[in-house]
Every structure is written in structure tokens, then in C-alpha cells.
Amino acid sequence: MKEHIEKVREELQSNLVRVTATDGLNVIETSFKKTLKELFSEMKNLSADEKRDAGKLINDLKNEFEARFKNMREKIAQGEKTESCVDMSIASPEFVRGKIHPLIRVGKMMEDVYKEMGFSIAYGPEIENDKHNYEMLNMPYYHPARDMQDTFYLEYPNVLLRSHTSCVQVRYMLEHKPPFMIISPGVVYRVDEIDPQHTPCFYQVEGLVVGEGINLANLKWAMTESAQRIFGSDLQVRFSPCYYPYTEPSAAVDMSCIMCGGKGCRTCKGTGWMRVAGAGMVHPNVFEGVGYSRDTLGFAFGWGLNRLPMLYYKIAEMRKLFENEISLWEQI
Amino acid sequence: MFKFPYSTLKSISDTDITYESLLEWLRYQGFEIASTEKTPDGDTLIEIEVKANRPDMLSVEGVLREVYISQKIQAPKTLDADMKINFSADNSLSHKIRIMSPDVHRYCGIEITGIDNTVKTPDYITDVLTKLGIPSISPVVDISNYVLVLTGQPSHIFDTDKLSGDIRVENTVEDKDISTLNGSDVKFPAGALVISDDEKPVCVAGMIGTPNAEITSETKNIIIECANFDHIVIRTTSKKTHVSTMASYRYERGVDTELCYRGARILAKMITEICGGKVNPKAYCYRDTEYQPQVLTLTTERTNAILGTELYPDEIADMLRRCYFDVKVIDGTAMEVKVPSFRLDIEIDADLIEEVGRIYGYHNIKPQPIKLYAPYVENKINKNANLLRNAMVGYGFIEVLTYGFIPSDAMNILEVPENSPYYGDIQIQNPLASCYQLMRPNLAYNLIQTAINNMSSTRSSIKIFELGKTFGKKDRTACGYDNYFEKNMFGMILTGTKISKGFGVSKEIKYSIYDAVALVKNLISEYAVDVKIRNTENVGIFETGAGAEITAAGKHIGIVGKVSPDVLLRFENGKLAKDEMFYAEFCYEDLSEIKRSISYQSEYPSVVREYNFVVKNGIHFQDYKELITSASPFVVSVKPVDVYFGAGVEKGYSSVLVNVEYNAVTRTLAAEEIEAAEHIFKVNLCEKYGIVLKS
């Protein structure tokens, strides 16, 4: 029995020398427990004295190796911890976030700012009729200003694709009474051949504020405030006289070039300014057309959106906005 | 647009205007400088953008008038019109002029005899015309063009010897083919204003002459026409015929009615000075109405209310006077404003207020915060779009934006049958090209093409989505605006690798139709109740047996499925789409966030059992799931774990592994209770759908 126990000890010792990992130790320990069981079962054939001696030897063996297992387990665990070598700079391709289209992204910035300023959002149809797209905006069929907006027709001359989102304003006024503050973001269509700087569709965000005491100074505030909230408080906004059939007085709105900060660069053709919107006090004829008093006070504005994401994200060509090269969108 | 040489403006100016100050003032007043161009002689051509409301700026004199405002000089110098001519309605010309149209507001005719049209046009005239790209024809024609550029008054000059009988100005009653001076034959529509003699058309009024009374070097006797035609008739004729001339461009925007007298005098004076000849001092003049200057009332209160300023009446009056308005202050706050005839755009007090604003300077108006209470109204479509957009970005999709147009053959490419709700044939009458001819009835065409366009040797996995409108007609055979409808749609494409090889994964896993369905279900279930996805065959786009319609609360809202490989191959570079491509689109207008309450889980452990059912194709999981759920109140969830076709499963069937969780709130369930539930649904599944457990 004694020899048998010694043999087991030697085997264990030689096996343990080779063990470097928890898995190997587990195998040896399991085998050891099995061997102990066998040794204890062998004792039943021994005499009482031999049983006592063998029992002591087996218990010593058990205690000795259990202690060693424990000790080794701790050491291996310690070793395993310190020896782990994970390159934490490597990320798997999982959990890739998607992207919002740059045009929509800038549009959403604008929507968020106007919502914060108390504006509601109104939508309208993209297929329009002549009445809402032109007539009610003070542009009768013979008006030369229609030349500015070459129109796509589905049925000539009455069914067309809206050439601006101003028709949403008309529809909104026909259904609502002042006071209100709305913006109407959306796509508009004009007959423009697709080339680097032209597309037949583009985005506008139009605004309309109608109510007691609204004036051109409020319009200046609304445009300046919104532009500065989006592009930074250093941004300058200027107004100059302009002409739109549906506003009087009308204004063209320029903001300091976001590429050069107003110093003058290629983008702003050296002027330091970029034309970004048109605006003005709503023309009394428009108010009258929707059933309001001609004395109603309100202003309207319209941002042309296509250029802003181009500048913001340095997109070289306008048509790229609709070509959807997703390797580009992934970068924003 | 109006282009003029800087030197010409200087030549008729009697004040010092520097080039820089000219450009600065024009820009300041909103006349954008479209271009400036140096000429070989050191002059500069300036092109300004003239908006439709300021036709008075389509002349050098008009620009000068505007510039004088900056210098606070009242009376700009104009071309010399010192010519003794008596205009009279009595017709003393060799050819009687008969005005037979209400579209003629003014018509002046001056007759000159014995001119010599072979002389050389003076250099100061040809110099201007050459710089503007206007060819020099003969002295008389050149003078006519020169006067137009300088004053803005168009004119037409007839060779009297080529006229026979009376000159009639009338609207045509039917379409008329007329050969014009530029050598083209144009069909002028009924209603066009045409000038004819007893035999032939001699001019299309306000637009272009004909060779029938053309001025040539042999011309000796002429009648100068300086008229004012209605802008609407000129505009509509010009638009219909696509004939646009320097004259029509001005007439359709409006020409000062009172300018024609001066224009005619200037022409007569210049022609006789340059070409000789004798002017008949009795000239003809027709006017439909006597000129009455527009008189408007303006109040200080209204002016300040619109501009947001605190201007005094005297300040307002001074500013208007600078702009050539005759202003009489009636009382402390109101004033009577007489509008000069050349300001055709001034019709109401708001127009005057704009004048005050621009002279005061928009930059001097201080921004004021809005003090208005306007209720905020949430826009459901906008909210839903943003919720979907954010969810899709979270799922790793990239948003794209495509045109609302698709090619004329898109329905054939997509195999969409005519009875499909995703079929459309709304044509654009004036498309950019045939590939942009149809208004899209679905988002599929553009999204599939976009996905393919982005495929390359290094990119085959595409996850894109779009939020956009689709268009349709209620009755495809009917016309009229009210027949059209449009919907706010969400569309997405899913194709390629779901899990890449590497990082412990030994084989890449591709997206399957079940992923597309799961995504759609997750997106919609957040905002709609009772979402069901059922196989359908009648929409096109999809492979047979792999397309489904999406319903919410029993209403059709969209489709999802595997794009047919045949469809893909019909697209440009469709071969690049090697993996299965899945497409979904649905209308998101009516979705609403659903308020849900939380139910607490039992504290007793659940029992989860898996069942491998053999299900005949065409039977929907969502239907037999209900049978399992209803078998016992202890069934708390029923989830599909896997679907298997192939070896070991009979053709026409699939093996569906389903995970059922049992639980009771008050106790741990006994095996007998679970077995009782199992028994019920097994019987029901077999009886109703023929579904049995896989042996």
C-alpha cells in the first residue's frame, strides 16, 4: 500500500511539473480524486493496523496535494491574468452606427433650432396645382417671375411639381387662423439639367410667422438667431433689398462665409458672403387670397438647403447629394 | 439681366460716379452684379440682375436714375429729345394707322422722308452695340437698338415704300405662320398682336419684325413706331413661340407708358441728324386712356409697423422724394405719394414701404425678438420620420436621398403588375430625360439601383434606407389635380454579410429574409398594433413565394420580401448583386407611438421547452403561434428559434423549431400542467393546420 501511495505521489509530482494552465490542473485533480477513492476502497482488505497507517498516508497525500492544487491554481490564475495579451485597440466590425444623409442632417439641425424657437412643422403635397404654387402667391400666369422657377408639369398647365415650399404656407393659411409660427421643410422641383452644381430636386426650409405686431425687425431676428444657433454665434447675417412676388418688402439674406469666416475665399467668390435665403413681409395680396385682412402682419422666409451641407461637409458637387455614394456618407 | 458698358453710363452722367461706388450702390440696393468684363479698350461691361419688378432698370438711363438716388441728385441727365413734333390722334401719315386691339396702350408714329441709310453709323453707337454683341445693321436699325439700350423704349421702324394701304394693329384670330426678320418661320398663336398692312404682316408687335417692311440700305422713307403694348399678350406670345427679343424681354416685364413719346422724339432727332431726311412734324399718337399718375396714401404708423422702425414722417417723405416720388404730407402721420410713371412696380403702400426700407438701409433695422404666442403643434409625420430615422441609424443603416423620378420602363424592370398598388404611370410632361420620366409609385427602383451602384469588389453588403414620397392616381385613367395622391413612405435595402468571418466566427453569415422581416416587425411594432406579415404574390419586385404584405390593425401599409434575381439582373450592373437582396417599404404616416405598461415577471422559475414542428408551406407562424398561446394561460412566450428546409424534411414543408416558455405567477408549474398545455396545442395544431411534431 505504502509503495502504491508513493507511486501515486511520484506520478502526480511529475504531472504537476508540466501543468501550466487551469484546464490541465483540473484534469489532474479529477484523476487524483478518482485515485484517492480507489486507494480508500483498497483499505478494506487491510488489517486494522495497516488500515490506520495507510489511512494516515492517504490523508497526508490528500492534504498535501489539495494544498498544492490550491496553491498552483492561484499561481496559474495569477499567471494567466498577467500573461493575457489583448490588443485593446482592435475592434471587431460589429456595432457600426448608420448615418443620416447630409442634407437631412443639416435640415434636422434647422428643424431642431426652429422647434426650440417655437415653430411648428407643416407639410404639404409635392404634386401641386397652379393655384397654390403660383396664383395665390401673387404670380398670375403671365408673371415674368415664373421664369425664375422652371416647372415640371404632370398635366399642363394645372398639375405640376411644386417649385417651392411656399405653397405649403398658402395651404396652411387656408386652414388656420393666426397667430402661428411654422416652418415647412421639403423637396422642391425645378427643370435643371443634372450637372456638378445643379439638380432637378432640392430642399427648402420655408418659414411663416403671422400675428399681431410682426415686422421686418422680427424677421431679421429670426433669421440671425437661427443661423447663429446652427453655425455659431460668430456668424454674421445681412439683409439686402430683393424681389419676390409674394413678399413686400422683400429681402435677400446673406451669411458670412462658413468656409473662410467672412475673409473671402473661392467658395464665396472673395466676397466673404453667401446667399442662403430669401425673405420678406408677406404680400397683402397673399393674405387677401387666403381670406385674411390685407392689414395682417407676417413674415416669410425660405432657406435653400442644398448648398449648406455641401459647404458643411465639403461635398464637391451638388449632384453628389443624390448619387448616394455611401462610402462618402459613412465619413460624416 | 441687363448689360451695359460703364463708359456709356459715364457719358450721359453729369456727376462723378466711380466704378467702385456704382457697383457698391447697386449691390447695396439688391441689384446683384452678375458679371463684370473688361473690354479691349479698357472699358468694363457690367451685367446686373434685374428682378421682374424693376423693368425700369433695363436701360442705361434707368441704372443712372438709380445711382443718382445714392448721390441725392434729383434729375439725372437723359438723352436729348429736343425735337418739335406734335403728337395728335389725327392721322397725317402717308399710311393710316388703325389700332384695333385693346392690347395697345400707346402707339406713336413719326414719319421721316428722304433719309440716307447708306451713311456710316457713328462710332459712339457702334461702340456700344459691339460691346453688347448687337450686330451693326444700318444706321437706322443701329439707332433704334441704341435708343432701346439707353432708354429702355423698344421701337420698330417700317420702310414706308414697302407698305401698302393702312397699318393695322390687331390680335390674330387664329394661328398664323409668319416669317420673321431673323430668318425663321414661326407659328404665332391666335391672340398674338400682329401689325399688318393691307396685304401682309409687317411686324409682330413688341417682338420682331418681318422682311415685308424691312429697313435696308436703300430705304428712303420711314415710319418710326414707338409704342406701349400690354405685357400679358407679349409674354404669352413669347412663351408659346419661344421667341424672345430685346423688345419682348422689356415689354413682357413692362415699359413706362409715357416713355414712348420721348423715345420717338429721340429716334427722330438722331435719325435726321445722322441720316438726314425731313420729319413730318404732325406725328400720330394713340392712347387707350389718359395717363393718370398713381397716387397712394402712406402712413407713418403702417411704415413703422411693417419695418419695425421708429421713423418720423419727414424722414419717410425725404427718402421717397429721393426715389423720384412726389410726396405731400397731409397731416402729422399720413402722406400722399405720387408715383413716377417709370415705377411700374409701385402699386400699394407696402411697395412704398419697401422703398423706405431700402433707402433707410435694411442694415439699420435692428433685429427684435418675436413677441408672439403661437401654440406649438406636433407634426406626426415629422415625428415618425425622425423615430424611424434614428432607429435605422441605430441598426447601422445609411440614409440615402433619391430623386422622385424613375425611368419610363421601371415598372417592367421591377415586374410590378398593373393591378399592384405599387404600380404607377404618372408621366412628367417635360422630363429631363426618359430615365426621369415617371413619378415613383414606390421607392424600390431608386433604392435597388442605389444599392447596386454602391457594390464593388470590396463592398457587397449594403444597408440603406430612404424616407420619401411616392405618388399615385386614384383613377389611373382620369385627369385633374384632385385625382393625384401621395404617401410618405419608408424604404430599405438589406443585402450581404450579417456576421463577418473572424473574431471567433469561422464562417460568415449572410442576411436572410427572416432578418428583413424581423427588422420590419421591430420597426413597426413599436408604433402600431396587430402587425401582421403575410405572403403575397401580386406586388411584383419579389421572388415568387418570398414576398409579403405588411398590415397593421388590418390595414395594408407596406411590403417586404426578397428581390427577385431576375429583377436584379435587369438593373444596370445588376450582376454585381451576388447576395440575396431584401427590400421593404411601408407607409409611416399613420403610425403612432404606443403607450405600453409593464407586467412584472413571476418570481417562480419558468420552464422552457422546444418543439420541432413540421409545417406545410404557406402556413404562417403568427397564426399557429396563437394556437399555442391560447392553449394555456401558463404559456407566456412563443418564439421561433430556427427554420430548416432540406434533407429529412418533406418537400413543401419546413421544420420550425419553436421555443415555448411556461410560467405561473403563484407557483412553480408541475410537469402535468405543462403536458396538459402541450397536449391541447398539439391536437389543435394538427387539427387546424396539419402541423405535427418532427419525429
In A, minimum Cα distance to B357 occurs at: A249
What are the grid coordinates assigned to B433, written together? 430625360
- Please indicate, yes or no, whether residues B181 and B141 belong to a single structural domain of this protein: yes
Contact B350 A243 (CB under 8 A): no
- Please indicate, yes or no, whether residues B124 and B211 belong to a single structural domain of this protein: yes
Contact A245/B at CB under 8 A: yes
Give the burial class of B440: count Cβ atoms within 10 A of its Cβ; 0-12 exposed, 13-18 middle, 19 or more buried. buried
For A78-118, the pLDDT digits (tens) are 766 555 677 788 888 788 999 999 999 999 999 999 999 99
Contact A152/B at CB under 8 A: yes
What are the grid coordinates assigned to B533, written together? 406579415
In A, minimum Cα distance to B28 occurs at: A240
Q: What is the 3-state secondary structure (H, E, C) of B28-56?
A: HCCCCEEEEEECCCCCEEEEECCCCCCHH
Find which of A180, A248, A268 to mutate to test the B interface (most B CBs within 10 Å of its CB).
A248
Strand partners, B125: none
- Please indicate, yes or no, whether residues B434 and B492 belong to a single structural domain of this protein: yes
Q: Which of B228, B258, B287 is the last residue of a domain?
A: B287
Q: What local confidence, expressed as pLDDT, does residue B681 receive?
A: 94
Q: What local confidence, expressed as pLDDT, does residue A79 receive?
A: 67
Interface of B with A in 488-547 (CB under 8 A): 499-500, 502-503
Q: What local confidence, expressed as pLDDT, does residue A168 receive?
A: 95
Contact B362 A243 (CB under 8 A): no
What are the grid coordinates assigned to B490, written together? 419608408
For A59-70, the pLDDT digits (tens) are 888 898 888 888
For residues B45-63, average pLDDT: 92
Query: Is residue B165 predicted with pLDDT exceeding 60?
Result: yes
Find which of B236, B242, B399, B470 to mutate to test the A interface (most A CBs within 10 Å of its CB).
B399
Q: What local confidence, expressed as pLDDT, does residue B29 receive?
A: 86
What does the alpha-carbon distance between residue B24 and residue A240 come to, in Å, rounded to a whole number?
A: 12
| pTM assigned to the model | 0.85
- Please indicate, yes or no, whether residues B280 and B388 belong to a single structural domain of this protein: no
Query: Is residue B36 predicted with pLDDT exceeding 70?
Result: yes
Do β-strands A273-282 and B2-5 pair in parallel, antiparallel, or remain unpaired? unpaired
The more confident residue out of B320 and A42 is: B320
Q: What local confidence, expressed as pLDDT, does residue A270 receive?
A: 84
Contact B641/A at CB under 8 A: no
Q: What local confidence, expressed as pLDDT, does residue A65 receive?
A: 87
Q: Report yes or no on B599 lying in a domain.
A: no
Q: Which of chain A's residues have a Cβ under 8 Å away from the Cβ of B392?
A: 98
Choose among A129, A138, A147, A152: nearest CA to A200. Answer: A152
Choose among A287, A303, A201, A211: nearest CA to A255. Answer: A303
Choose among A51, A30, A277, A290: nearest CA to A180. Answer: A290
Q: Report yes or no on B166 lying in a domain.
A: yes
| Percent of chain B whose pLDDT exceeds 90 | 77
Q: Report yes or no on B77 lying in a domain.
A: no
Q: Which of chain B's residues have a Cβ under 8 Å away from the Cβ of A251?
A: 362
Phi, psi of B103 (to 5 degrees): -85, 0
For B234-273, the pLDDT digits (tens) are 999 998 898 999 999 999 999 999 999 999 999 999 999 9
- Torsion region of B10: left, alpha or beta (phi above 0 gives left; psi -120 to 50 gives alpha): alpha
Q: Which of chain B's residues have a Cβ under 8 Å away from the Cβ of A159?
A: 479-481, 484
What does the alpha-carbon distance between residue A66 and residue A175 come to, in Å, rounded to a whole number?
A: 87
Phi, psi of B550 (to 5 degrees): -110, 130
Contact A221 B503 (CB under 8 A): no
Q: Report yes or no on B594 lying in a domain.
A: no
What does the alpha-carbon distance between residue A257 and residue A271 come to, in Å, rounded to a whole number?
A: 8
Contact A236, A256 (CB under 8 A): yes
Query: Is residue A140 predicted with pLDDT exceeding 90?
Result: no
Q: Report yes or no on B593 lying in a domain.
A: no
Taken in order A49, A54, A59, A60, the sign of the CA dihedral is positive
| Rounded (10°) CA dihedral B432, B437, B442, B444 | -70
Contact B430 A141 (CB under 8 A): no
The more confident residue out of A223 and A262 is: A223
What are the grid coordinates assigned to B128, written together? 456700344
| Mean of pLDDT over chain A | 89
Q: What local confidence, expressed as pLDDT, does residue A15 receive?
A: 82
Of B372, B426, B432, the CB nearest to A209: B372
Q: Letter for the amino acid at B660? A: V
To the nearest whole Å, the CA of A76 is away from the closest chain B CA by 24
Query: Is residue A284 predicted with pLDDT exceeding 90?
Result: yes
Q: Report yes or no on B78 lying in a domain.
A: no
Contact A213/B at CB under 8 A: yes
Q: What local confidence, expressed as pLDDT, does residue A80 receive?
A: 60
CA angle B577, B579, B580 (to 5 degrees): 105
Of B235, B381, B436, the CB nearest to A123: B381
Q: Letter for the amino acid at B182? A: N
Q: Which of A4-8, A189-193, B64-68, B513-517 has the highest mean pLDDT?
A: B513-517
Query: Is residue B12 predicted with pLDDT exceeding 90?
Result: no
Query: Is residue B529 predicted with pLDDT exceeding 80?
Result: no
Query: Is residue B108 predicted with pLDDT exceeding 80?
Result: yes
Instruction: List chain A domain ranges.
Output: 2-83, 102-329
Element (H, E) at A105: helix A102-116
Q: What local confidence, expressed as pLDDT, does residue B492 receive?
A: 98
Contact A324 B402 (CB under 8 A): yes
CATH of the domain at B53: 3.30.56.10
Q: What local confidence, expressed as pLDDT, does residue B173 receive?
A: 93
Helix (H, G, I), strand (E, B) or coil at A6: helix
Task: Give B258's contacts (C-beta < 8 A, 6+ positions apart).
Answer: B106, B291, B341, B342
CB-defined contacts A:B, below 8 A: 248
Contact B456/A at CB under 8 A: no
Query: Is residue B281 predicted with pLDDT exceeding 60?
Result: yes
Choose among B267, B255, B250: nearest CA to B80. Answer: B267
- Please indicate, yes or no, whether residues B36 and B162 belong to a single structural domain of this protein: no
- Please indicate, yes or no, whether residues B173 and B123 belong to a single structural domain of this protein: yes
Contact A270/B at CB under 8 A: no
Domain that holds residue B625: 607-693
- Please indicate, yes or no, whether residues B540 and B410 belong to a single structural domain of this protein: yes
Query: Is residue A21 predicted with pLDDT exceeding 90?
Result: no
Contact B205, B172 (CB under 8 A): no
Q: What local confidence, expressed as pLDDT, does residue A83 receive?
A: 58
Contact A235/B at CB under 8 A: no
Q: Which of chain B's residues have a Cβ under 8 Å away from the Cβ of A216?
A: 306-308, 357, 362, 365
Q: Report yes or no on B76 lying in a domain.
A: no
Contact B327, B321 (CB under 8 A): yes
- Please indicate, yes or no, whether residues B399 and B354 belong to a single structural domain of this protein: no
Phi, psi of B573 (to 5 degrees): 60, 25
In B, minimum Cα distance to A139 occurs at: B52
Contact A242/B at CB under 8 A: yes
Q: Letter for the amino acid at B540? A: G
Q: Which of chain B's residues have a Cβ under 8 Å away from the Cβ of A245?
A: 52-53
CA distances from A248 to A240, A241, B49, B355, B356 (A): 13, 10, 19, 10, 12
Q: Letter for the amino acid at B674? A: I
Contact B346, B355 (CB under 8 A): yes
- Please indicate, yes or no, whether residues B329 and B458 belong to a single structural domain of this protein: no
Q: What local confidence, expressed as pLDDT, does residue B457 receive?
A: 78
Domain count, chain B: 5
Query: Is residue B409 predicted with pLDDT exceeding 80?
Result: yes
Task: Give A73's contacts (C-beta < 8 A, 6+ positions apart).
Answer: A22, A25
- Torsion region of B322: left, alpha or beta (phi above 0 gives left; psi -120 to 50 gives alpha): alpha
| Percent of chain A whose pLDDT exceeds 90 | 48
What does the alpha-carbon distance between residue B312 and residue B577 come to, in Å, rounded to a whole number?
A: 72
Find which of B401, B435, B453 to mutate to test the A interface (most A CBs within 10 Å of its CB).
B401
Strand partners, A281: A299
Task: Give B412's contacts (C-beta < 8 A, 6+ positions apart).
Answer: B570
- Please indicate, yes or no, whether residues B492 and B615 belong to a single structural domain of this protein: no
What are the grid coordinates assigned to B387, written together? 423615430
Contact A206, A184 (CB under 8 A): yes
Contact B612, B649 (CB under 8 A): no
For B282-330, the pLDDT digits (tens) are 999 999 999 999 999 999 999 999 999 999 999 999 999 999 999 999 8
We find that the CATH architecture of domain A102-329 is: 2-Layer Sandwich (3.30)
Find which of B27, B251, B370 to mutate to test the A interface (most A CBs within 10 Å of its CB).
B370
- Please indicate, yes or no, whether residues B245 and B97 belong to a single structural domain of this protein: yes
> A18-32, A176-190, B113-127, B595-609: which range is least confident on average?
A18-32
Q: Which of chain A's residues have a Cβ under 8 Å away from the Cβ of B401?
A: 101, 103-104, 321-322, 324
Q: Which of chain A's residues have a Cβ under 8 Å away from the Cβ of B426?
A: 154
Of A93, A221, A283, the CB nearest to B350: A283
For residues A225-231, average pLDDT: 91
- Please indicate, yes or no, whether residues B170 and B241 belong to a single structural domain of this protein: yes
What does the alpha-carbon distance between residue A123 and residue B41 come to, in Å, rounded to a whole number?
A: 55
To the nearest whole Å, the CA of B54 is away from the closest chain A CA by 9
Find which of A101, A229, A235 to mutate to test the B interface (most B CBs within 10 Å of its CB).
A101
Q: What local confidence, expressed as pLDDT, does residue B76 receive?
A: 72
Q: Report yes or no on B597 lying in a domain.
A: no
Query: Is residue A238 predicted with pLDDT exceeding 90?
Result: yes
| Mean of pLDDT over chain B | 92
Query: Is residue A146 predicted with pLDDT exceeding 80?
Result: no
What does the alpha-carbon distance between residue A306 and residue A198 come to, in Å, rounded to a whole number?
A: 10
Interface of B with A in 17-46 (CB under 8 A): 27-30
Task: Give B465's contacts (C-beta < 8 A, 6+ positions apart).
Answer: B388, B392, B397, B398, B399, B400, B447, B490, B491, B492, B493
In B, minimum Cα distance to A236 occurs at: B363
To the nearest whole Å, the CA of A79 is away from the closest chain B CA by 24
Choose among B422, B650, B442, B425: nearest CA to B540. Answer: B422
Interface of A with B in 90-109 (CB under 8 A): 92-101, 103-104, 108
